[in-house]
Structure 1
Amino acid sequence: MTEKLFEDLQAIYPEMVEFRREMHMNPELSFQEVHTPKKIANYLRDLGLEVRTEVGGRGVVGKLQGEKPGKTIAFRADFDALPIQDQKNVDYKSTVDGAMHACGHDIHTASLLGAAKVLSQHKDKISGSIVFIHQFAEEQIPGGAISMIEDGCLDGVDEIYGAHVWTSIPLGTIGIIGDYAMAAGDQFDIEIIGKGGHGAKPHVTVDSIYIASQVLNQLHQIVGRQVDPLKTGVITVGKINGGQAFNIIAENTNMSGTVRTFDAEVRDTIEEKIKQVTTAVCEGLGGTANISYTRGYPALYNHPEPLKNVDDLAQNVVGKPHVKYLLPSPGMEDFAYYVKEVPGAFFFIGGANEEINAVYPNHHPKFDVDERCMLNAAKMFISLALQEKQGADDER
C-alpha cells in the first residue's frame, strides 16, 4: 500500500511545486499571516477534512478520520517567512520587499499538504486519525506553538512528528538526531548606566562603553570556566549600542545577546551567572545595570520510540546509506513545545544541490533547496502515518 501512495504522491508533485512557489513568491511574516492560512484551510477543506481555523491565533488544523480504530498521529508544518530580502535569481523569487521564505517553511507546508491529499484518498485503509497542524509564527518568540497547544491542537493526539529541510545535507538524505536535537534559545538585554561627560575628562565620568567591554569579556568566560566541560552552552553578544559623538563619554550603553543550551541545569547556571557577572563588573567600575533575561524555546527532545519509527522508515524511503546521524543543532525550534506535551520526533530532510545553487544555509538571503526534497518529506509523513496505524513492518 505504501508504494501505491508513493506513486500517487509522485503524480501530484507538480501541484506541490506550484503551491510551494506561490507561497515563496508571497511570503508573510510571523503574526502577519493572512492569505497563507486561508489558502491552506481551503486546500484541506477541498480534501474533505475536518478543518479548524484561527487556532491559537492564525493556525490551521485539519483532521483525517480513518475508518478503523487506532492511534491519533499528528504532523506539524510551519508557514511564516523571515524579514530578509530575497537575493536569488529565480522565477519564483519573493515579490514582497524585505520578506522571504529563507528557512523552508514553504517546503514544509507543501510537503504536508501533499501527504494529506494522498492519505485522504485512501482513508478507507487508515486506522485511527491523522491531524495536520499548520503553525504560524515559528520564527518569532513567543512562537505560535504555545497558543495552538493551548487552543487544543494536540487534544487526543498520541504522537507527533515534524520535519525541517536542511541544506547542510544533500538531496536524497534524511538526518536524524537522538535525544536533544535542537537547543533552548534565550535572549538577554543589558542596559549599563554610567556617568556621561567630556571625552577629555574621563576621571570625572563613569564610562559605560568601557564597562560594556569588560562585561563582554567576562560573559565569554562563563561557559569556559563555570560550566561543566562535559556539557555545552553558547553565549553570544550580538548587539552593542552606545555613544553619540567622538568626544563624549556615553552615560548609557545597551547590549543584547543570545544563550543556547541543551541541559536544563546549564541553562539555569548561565542565566544566573550572566546576572551575577554583569552586576559585579558594573558595580566594580562605578556603574549600574538593568538586566532582562527572557527564556525562549526549550530544547527539543526526540523521544526514543517515535525516533526509532523515523529511523526505520527513513531507511525505506531513502535507503540506509542515505540516513545521516547528525550532531545536535544549536539552533532552536518551537516544535519543542509539542514534544513536551506528547511523545514525538523531529527529523531533517536533505535539500542541498550544488547544480542549482541550493547550497546556502537557512536564513541566508540566497537560501533555496531542491524542490524534490518535498517528495522525501511527504513520503516520511505517509510512511509514519501508515506505520503507526497498520504496523508496516510486514510491508517492509
Structure 2
Amino acid sequence: MNNFAENLLSLVDSKKERMIEIRRYLHAHPELSFEEQETAKYIADFYQNLACTVKKNIGGYGIVVEIDSGKPGKNLALRADFDALPIQEETGLPFASENPGVMHACGHDAHTAYMLILAECLIELKEQFSGKITILHQPAEETPPGGAIQMIRDGCLDGVDHVVGCHVMSGFDLGTVYYHTGATQTGRATFKLKVQGKGSHGSMPNAGIDAVLVGSQIVVNLQSIVSRRVNPFDMTTLTVGSFDGKGSANVLKDAVFLEGDIRMMNEASRTLVKEAFEDTVKGICEVYGATYELDYVDDYPVLMNDQRLTEFVVNIIEQHPFTELKEVVDSGPIAPSEDFAYYCQERPSCFFYVGATGEGQVAYPHHHPKFDIDEASILIAAKTMATVVSEYFNQEK
C-alpha cells in the first residue's frame, strides 16, 4: 500500500465518529426528490472553508466539488446521492425523521455522510496525488427523470475520465463488498393506463362497456409478453401494481386505471416490450369497443458496469484489505433500478455495494418504514472508496 493510501485510510478512520454524526443529522432531516433545498445547503456549507471549488444548483439541487491537486493527471468522479422517500418512518430510532411522511429508507444519508468526510480528507491530502477528483453530490435518485441525467446535462462530467459510486445494502453482510461486471441493475419503464368503457347498471350489461372486464383482459394478456415474446435468457418483468376499479357492486365501471412498471437487463427487451404492450392494449380495447389513454415512460437504463474498470476496482480492494473488510464477492445482477446507469452511459464507470446488515440483525428491505443500516457500514464504504481512489492515482504514476 502506497503512502497516500495509508495516510488517507488513517485520516478517514480518525473521523469515523463525525461520519456517524452527519448521517444521523441527515437521517433526522430528510427531503424528497427535487425538494432537497436544505440538504443541498448543508452539503455546500460543509465545503465553505475547504480548499476546493464548489458548484451549486447543478441539475437542480446538485453540488459538484472539484479537488484539484494542481498537478496533471486523471480526473476521477465519485458520486453520492442525497434524496429521501415518501415513507412514514417506523424505526423508533432516537434520530428518526422529524419530517412527517418523509424518510431516508434507502441509505442515501449514509452515502452523503461518508462522501463528505472522504472529500474533506482528500482535500487535506491533495498534495499527495496528481490529477483531479470530482465529487458528485446528486439529488433525486429515487424519482424519474432522476438527478443524474440532469447533472450530466449541466456538465458535471466535463473533463471526467471515470465515475465510481457505491451503495450500502440492507440484506448484504456487514464487512463484505459486493460487485458485478456488465449488466448489473435493471433498466426500467413505467406506465399509467386509463381504460374508458361505458357505465351501465349491472342488470343491463349489454347497455354498457365493462371497463373492469376490459382492464382484466389487458392484465392477463400483458403477462404473455414476457412469457412468450421475450427471450427467456433476457431477464424481464412486467408488473401491474395498481388496478383502480372500485365502484358500486351493481354498476359497470365507466373507467378503470392501471399503473405498473417494466424492468429489463437487456435494452433490446425495452423496445420489444413497449411495442407489444401498446399492441395488446389497443387490440383488446378495439375488441370490446373501449378506448384508452396510455402514458408509457422509459426512464432509467440498464446499469452497465465497465468490465475493465470494475475488474481494476475489485483487484484494488482485494489486494489492499483493511481491518473491517472481510471479503469481496460477486453479487450477480441486482433487480432494482438505479440512475447511476446514466453515468455509465457517458463514461467507463463502476458501481459496487457495501453490506450493511450485521450478524443477527433484522434486515428490513430498502424502502421499508423500518429500514436501517449498521452504521459500521459507513466507515467501510468510506475506506473502500478511499482505497480505490488512492490506488487509482497510484497506478497513474
Same fold by TM-score greater than 0.5: yes
Match status 1:132 vs 2:106: no
Residue number in structure 2 paired with 1:86: 89
Q: For 1:77-116, list aligned pairs within 5 A.
A: 77-116=80-119
Contact 1:67 1:125 in 2 (8 A): no
1:272 to 272, 275, 279: 275
CA distance in 2, matches of 1:266, 1:295: 12
2:182 to 165, 179, 184: 179
2:248 to 231, 236, 245: 245
1:361 to 365, 371, 391: 365
1:10 to 13, 24, 28: 13
Match status 1:148 vs 2:147: no
Residue number in structure 1 paired with 2:338: 333
Contact 1:317 1:376 in 2 (8 A): no
Deviation at 1:260, TM superposition (A): 0.2
Contact 2:67 2:126 in 1 (8 A): yes
Contact 2:317 2:388 in 1 (8 A): no
Q: For 1:1-396, list aligned pairs within 5 A.
A: 1=3, 2-315=5-318, 316-317=320-321, 322-355=327-360, 357=362, 359-391=363-395
- Residue identity opposite 2:21 in structure 1: E
Listed one character per residue, the Cα deviations across residues 318-363 of structure 1 (whole Å, up to 9, x for unaligned) are 6996111112112111111111111111000110125454x11110
CA distance in 2, matches of 1:98, 1:215: 34
Contact 1:209 1:243 in 2 (8 A): no
Deviation at 1:382, TM superposition (A): 1.5
Contact 1:107 1:165 in 2 (8 A): yes
Listed one character per residue, the Cα deviations across residues 149-169 of structure 1 (whole Å, up to 9, x for unaligned) are 111111100000010111121
Deviation at 1:3, TM superposition (A): 2.3
Deviation at 1:117, TM superposition (A): 1.4
CA distance in 2, matches of 1:318, 1:193: 61
Contact 1:74 1:132 in 2 (8 A): yes
- Residue identity opposite 1:223 in structure 2: V
Listed one character per residue, the Cα deviations across residues 45-67 of structure 1 (whole Å, up to 9, x for unaligned) are 33221101111211101111114
Deviation at 1:120, TM superposition (A): 1.3
- Residue identity opposite 1:368 in structure 2: D
Contact 1:172 1:318 in 2 (8 A): no
CA distance in 1, matches of 2:314, 2:66: 25
Q: Percent identity?
A: 37
Deviation at 1:12, TM superposition (A): 0.4
- Residue identity opposite 1:154 in structure 2: L
CA distance in 1, matches of 2:387, 2:317: 9
Which shows bigger deviation, 41-50 or 69-78?
41-50
- Residue identity opposite 2:162 in structure 1: E
Listed one character per residue, the Cα deviations across residues 68-90 of structure 1 (whole Å, up to 9, x for unaligned) are 32100000000000000110021
Secondary structure of 1:384 counterpart: helix
Contact 1:214 1:281 in 2 (8 A): yes
Listed one character per residue, the Cα deviations across residues 87-135 of structure 1 (whole Å, up to 9, x for unaligned) are 0021111111000100000011111112111111111111100000000
Contact 2:175 2:326 in 1 (8 A): no
CA distance in 2, matches of 1:317, 1:349: 14
- Matched pairs, number: 392
Listed one character per residue, the Cα deviations across residues 192-233 of structure 1 (whole Å, up to 9, x for unaligned) are 111110011112211000111111010111111111112120
Secondary structure of 1:267 counterpart: helix
Deviation at 1:174, TM superposition (A): 0.5
Deviation at 1:243, TM superposition (A): 4.0
Contact 1:174 1:348 in 2 (8 A): yes
TM-score by length of 2: 0.95
- Residue identity opposite 1:156 in structure 2: G
CA distance in 2, matches of 1:239, 1:365: 20
Listed one character per residue, the Cα deviations across residues 232-286 of structure 1 (whole Å, up to 9, x for unaligned) are 2000001111243121101111111100012121110000111111111121122
CA distance in 2, matches of 1:202, 1:177: 54
- Residue identity opposite 2:19 in structure 1: M
TM-score by length of 1: 0.96
CA distance in 1, matches of 2:53, 2:384: 22
CA distance in 2, matches of 1:140, 1:243: 28
Contact 2:82 2:140 in 1 (8 A): yes
Secondary structure of 1:180 counterpart: strand
CA distance in 2, matches of 1:332, 1:318: 30
Moved over 6 A (4+): none
Secondary structure of 2:221 counterpart: helix
